[in-house]
Structure 1
Amino acid sequence: MMRPTYLALAASLALGGMAVTVAPAAAQSVLKIGLQDDPDTLDPVSNWSFVGRHVLQSLCDKIVDIDQNGKIIPMLATRWEWSPDSTALTLTLRSDAVFHDGTKVDAAAIKYNLERALTSGISRRKAEISAIKTVEAVDPTTVKISLKEPSVPLLAALSDRAGMIVSPAAGAKLGDKFTDAPVCSGPYKFMERVVQDRIVLEKFPHYYDAAKYKFDRLIYRGMPDSNVRLLNLRSGQLDLIERLAATDVDAVKADKALAVDPVVGLGYYGITFSIGGDGASLDAGKKAAIREAFSLAIDRQAISNVVFDGQASIGNQPFPPSSPFYDKKFPVPARDLDAAKKKMAEAGVKSVNLELLVPTDAERQQVAQLIQAMVQDIGIKVSIKPTELMTLLDIARQGKFQSHLVGWSGRVDPDLNVTPMLSCGAATNDAKYCNETLDAILAKARSLGDPAARQAEYAKAIAILLKDLPIVYLYHSQWIFAHSSKITGFKPAPDGIIRLADVSRKN
């Protein structure tokens, strides 16, 4: 019996050796961090890259944060209270926070930042906090946020970039150039950036919790290849790396000089199709049956086994199967070529050409190659176009693509795994997809405080998404960190973002 093409490909995939990046020896007070990519911007309103969030976490304090269990915890806001009808959120701020330029973090600064996120021409946060009607600085430490309609996910949105607070003075002075010299209020301040090389932050001595941050300087380096990141970690050129390849976990665990810290993520990886964009394929972008055929032709478990050593959780919805918002009425489909071919016939096509933009890291390239081989069996001919991540995201925002393989890191509230990417007109809706019925369902879900009632609404949303398939969801990965065994106190959170409070180096 002939082996399927994709199984032959799976057996042949192997990672080649890579050269180690040479870097000067580090001082004891320097922590060197390897990221999967070089971030796009360092402005919270315009940043769209996951790796940028790692840097921003140490640079810009947020209104609230999450802990390693995904629970929302105080940060700049020490307390918060919803009105009985969930249309107003009142924040009480800490009084001892200052920006890196010495100005005070107060209610006026929170008001400035939320309004900037809503109105700036470069903002990618608008959809995340679009429910906000007005922001009032009641007094220096009290902020009242009034909403157009009830929106339970707002607080969760403020635990990410929408809640990151920059200096109003610097924001007004630098405008759209804020990313070149960002001024925030986090434990570290900006020192320098050499694009495609390094970002350097220095400890801010006036931070209210400065004692919890043990390193004088942080150096972030983007390295798309997981082999290169690991080789640099082994050689001591890096102290901590994100996204260790799942296939390297056992080897790293066996190395006494290294340690592994995994955490199950909140997000997903999937193929986004351009539906209404300038680059949309006349076939795959316009005919849902072709996208259904594409999904049915994929063996998701094979992808997990081959690329992630079985450690990725396969999926077909914006939430992982472990989530209470995952709808079990729509389980992950097995590969079904007969059903896929029937969908191709339903669409009136025998073959389809599809360009797929894929970031240059080894894992997603391998995922793309497996998908290419799988869908070829039903007549979909995928041409893979390796594209540097920031370039890919820029192309995607313009809608000038046919399909791309990019993940979403996920948020603690389910709405934020759907609305920013798929609501009509959202700045981050790469697919340029619009379904007003879906938008109405999501709006209702945002207004509900009862989890069971919200689950019912998200079940309706999932039914629409699995029919329209603007995104073919594939898997939900773990965030796997590796670091020198001398690094202690590191606790990964489910959003996959590096947090450095109480992290130190033992002698």
Structure 2
Amino acid sequence: MKLGAKAAFAAATLSAALCLTACGGSAAGPDAAGTAAGAATKTVKAMTIGSLADAKSFDPVDARTGHAMPIFQTVYDTLLLRDRDGKISPMLATKWEYNADNTVLTLTLRDGVTFSDGTPFDAAAVKANMDNFKAVKGQDAYQVNSVKEVAVVDPRTVTITLNAADPAFEYYLTLAAGFMASPKALGTPELKTDPRGSGPYVLDKANSVKGSQYVFTKRDGYWNKDLQKFEKVTIKILTDATARTNALVSGQIDAALLDPKNGKQAEGAGMKLNKSQVDWTGIFLYDRDGKISPELANVKVRQAINHAFDRKTIKEQQFLGQGTETTQIFGPESGAYVPDLDNRYPYDPEKAKKLLAEAGYPNGFTIKYPTTAGSDSLNAVYAQQLADIGIKLELETIPQPNLVADMAAGKYAAGSYSLFQAGPWVSITQIIGQSALYNPFKTTTPELESLISEVQNGGEKSSELAKKVNTYVTENAWFAPILRLDQMYYTGKNVNVKPQAHQAVPSIYNYEPAK
């Protein structure tokens, strides 16, 4: 089907959402990719990155998985590290091992590491950081919800006891929960503006301005010189996509995440595209029990909604062809991906109408639906295509900052959103499980609970078992996915970068001088 002209060339702002969009990680980390720690590497004078997000503060408790992660990665190492393909490698912990039931994780720590204030890194520092992270309950405190106790065995060994198996816990140790600050600075107001970490760079406070730019210089005595690819790294906060594009094209910055429309300008100016797929975008059909919209309790209604969308046309006109049509929420890198589910609900308005009639709604129904200034055009397209099968979206404009809170509070039966395609357990706990933020009506069934339990206790088979969860929520149409979005990250002539799995923006370690 053809979309109206007003729908074409809309800004693909959802491609930059959460990520959950997303995530910490690394590519050329210590003891990974065959590079010995401490090896000398080529450096250039400086690199400047354009970031669409600022950090709340430099205190690790304020770190949040997403676009601001590179700001923290310059100054803080994590306990574990994610390679570019998402595999977990050593960083501050050189070895790690679970007990038989995956409830006690033992970490062996790297020797000879110090924080920027000279304090040695050891097991006591790990315990202090993790206890503080859990107690303060920062933005990403959910990452340590499963932690029961952190214990020092000896200076180089620490054990972390969990309340129950958590298949995502190692992954969380590559993110905010894994950032290590000097124990002397924890809990002090100074840490919010003056980071004290063991990372490859230190903050140049004199040349940094909150909300504008942060300048970092190469740290003397850092334990892994291979990660110090630049003498200086500057991160400029540029929340507007047009401003980032102009800064990149003019040479003021070396790298930035853009949207498809601005990407055309960047490519025309000779910028290099580094493309990856991280987020999926579509409709969350929250009210599967019909608490405020009784119609959504019928699986045939939810399946009809899925059949209503012409995903190919949406991709071409809304996202300039950037993305891959899908009807599942798990991507190829997630571990729970099932190829056949990408086309479980092909575009078929007549079938959609038939399903609605079978469900008892031959004349359709109305759903109150939230929209924001940044998503009005895309939601207008959704409304147009659903109207073609008899479902009316009653669009209600709300402020963008209220969207997640309102949806999580169960104010709406359905809503548009984008989230990063994480590992199976992260996605299950984020959007599928009974206590998940994006399952506001706490929908579940005995069959689903059994499948989730299998994943939680599946150990190395956890990802494979999650394919059953993926199949269940897809067949029962818990969501109406539209696309796996292309993340369009551009670099100039002086810098090369590799995309990061599960992450919209690359980790700070993924950049290197262009050869």
TM range (shorter): 0.7 to 0.9
Which residue does 1:162 correspond to in 2? 177
Q: Does the 8 A contact of 2:49 with 2:255 survive in 1?
A: yes
The whole-number CA distance in structure 2 between the counterparts of 1:166 and 1:289 is 52
| Cα distance change on mapping 1:463 and 1:303 into 2, 3 Å | same
Range with bigger deviation, 339-348 or 74-83? 339-348
What pairs up with 1:301-340 in 2 under 5 angstroms? 301-320=312-331, 324-328=335-339, 330-332=341-343, 333-340=345-352
Letter of the structure 2 residue corresponding to residue 8 of structure 1: G
Counterpart selection for 1:272 from 275, 278, 284: 284
What pairs up with 1:381-396 in 2 under 5 angstroms? 381-383=393-395, 385=397, 387-388=399-400, 392-396=403-407
How far off its partner does 1:276 sit? 9.8
SS, match of residue 144 in structure 1: strand
Unaligned runs of 5+ in 2: 13-43
The whole-number CA distance in structure 2 between the counterparts of 1:57 and 1:421 is 27
Counterpart selection for 2:508 from 500, 503, 506: 500
What pairs up with 1:88-487 in 2 under 5 angstroms? 88-122=104-138, 124-126=140-142, 128-174=143-189, 183-190=196-203, 191=205, 192=208, 194-195=210-211, 197-210=212-225, 212-225=228-241, 227-242=242-257, 244-246=258-260, 252-253=266-267, 255-256=269-270, 258-265=271-278, 267-275=279-287, 282=293, 290-320=301-331, 324-328=335-339, 330-332=341-343, 333-345=345-357, 346=359, 348=361, 350-358=364-372, 360=374, 366-377=377-388, 378-383=390-395, 385=397, 387-388=399-400, 392-396=403-407, 398-399=409-410, 403-411=414-422, 413-426=423-436, 428-429=437-438, 431-435=440-444, 437=446, 438-451=448-461, 454-455=463-464, 457-466=465-474, 469-487=477-495
Could you give the per-residue CA deviations for residues 64-84 of structure 1, whole angstroms, max 9, x where no partner exists? 111222221111111222334
Could you give the per-residue CA deviations for residues 166-210 of structure 1, whole angstroms, max 9, x where no partner exists? 344433234xx9656654432234545534x44554544453235
SS, match of residue 477 in structure 1: strand
How far off its partner does 1:234 sit? 0.6
| Cα distance change on mapping 1:255 and 1:287 into 2, 3 Å | same
Q: Does the 8 A contact of 1:283 with 1:290 survive in 2?
A: no
Which residue does 1:19 correspond to in 2? none
SS, match of residue 91 in structure 1: strand
Q: Does the 8 A contact of 1:358 with 1:404 survive in 2?
A: no
State yes or no: 1:64 paired with 2:71. no
How far off its partner does 1:233 sit? 0.8
| Cα distance change on mapping 1:473 and 1:502 into 2, 3 Å | closer
Q: Does the 8 A contact of 2:275 with 2:486 survive in 1?
A: yes
Q: Does the 8 A contact of 1:61 with 1:164 survive in 2?
A: yes
The whole-number CA distance in structure 1 between the counterparts of 2:337 and 2:3 is 29
The whole-number CA distance in structure 1 between the counterparts of 2:267 and 2:151 is 51
Unaligned runs of 5+ in 1: 17-27
Large movers: runs of 4+ above 6 Å: 284-287
Q: Does the 8 A contact of 2:7 with 2:381 survive in 1?
A: no
SS, match of residue 351 in structure 2: helix
Q: Does the 8 A contact of 1:204 with 1:210 survive in 2?
A: no
SS, match of residue 115 in structure 2: coil
Could you give the per-residue CA deviations for residues 452-488 of structure 1, whole angstroms, max 9, x where no partner exists? x752x32432244236555432222233211111124
The whole-number CA distance in structure 2 between the counterparts of 1:463 and 1:502 is 34
The whole-number CA distance in structure 1 between the counterparts of 2:185 and 2:397 is 39
| Cα distance change on mapping 1:82 and 1:54 into 2, 3 Å | same
Q: Does the 8 A contact of 1:10 with 1:306 survive in 2?
A: no
Which residue does 2:40 correspond to in 1? none
SS, match of residue 103 in structure 1: coil
The whole-number CA distance in structure 2 between the counterparts of 1:183 and 1:287 is 54
Q: Does the 8 A contact of 1:97 with 1:208 survive in 2?
A: yes
The whole-number CA distance in structure 2 between the counterparts of 1:101 and 1:284 is 60
How far off its partner does 1:400 sit? 5.0
| Cα distance change on mapping 1:432 and 1:41 into 2, 3 Å | farther
Range with bigger deviation, 46-55 or 75-84? 46-55
The whole-number CA distance in structure 2 between the counterparts of 1:319 and 1:392 is 23
Q: Does the 8 A contact of 1:157 with 1:416 survive in 2?
A: no
| Cα distance change on mapping 1:291 and 1:252 into 2, 3 Å | same
| Cα distance change on mapping 1:43 and 1:307 into 2, 3 Å | farther
How far off its partner does 1:501 sit? 3.4
| Cα distance change on mapping 1:83 and 1:283 into 2, 3 Å | same
| Cα distance change on mapping 1:61 and 1:291 into 2, 3 Å | farther
| Cα distance change on mapping 1:147 and 1:38 into 2, 3 Å | closer
Q: Does the 8 A contact of 1:233 with 1:240 survive in 2?
A: yes
Q: Does the 8 A contact of 2:116 with 2:202 survive in 1?
A: yes
The whole-number CA distance in structure 2 between the counterparts of 1:61 and 1:302 is 44
How far off its partner does 1:42 sit? 5.3
Q: Does the 8 A contact of 2:371 with 2:379 survive in 1?
A: no
The whole-number CA distance in structure 2 between the counterparts of 1:394 and 1:169 is 35
TM-score, reference length from structure 1: 0.79
The whole-number CA distance in structure 1 between the counterparts of 2:299 and 2:244 is 39
**Greater RCO, 1 or 2 (C-alpha within 8 Å, sep 6+):** 2
Letter of the structure 2 residue corresponding to residue 103 of structure 1: T
Letter of the structure 1 residue corresponding to residue 387 of structure 2: Q
Letter of the structure 2 residue corresponding to residue 352 of structure 1: T
Task: Give the aligned CA root-mean-square deviation in angstroms.
Answer: 3.7
The whole-number CA distance in structure 1 between the counterparts of 2:162 and 2:312 is 43
How far off its partner does 1:359 sit? 7.1
| Cα distance change on mapping 1:139 and 1:327 into 2, 3 Å | same
Counterpart selection for 1:13 from 9, 15, 21: 9
How far off its partner does 1:431 sit? 3.2
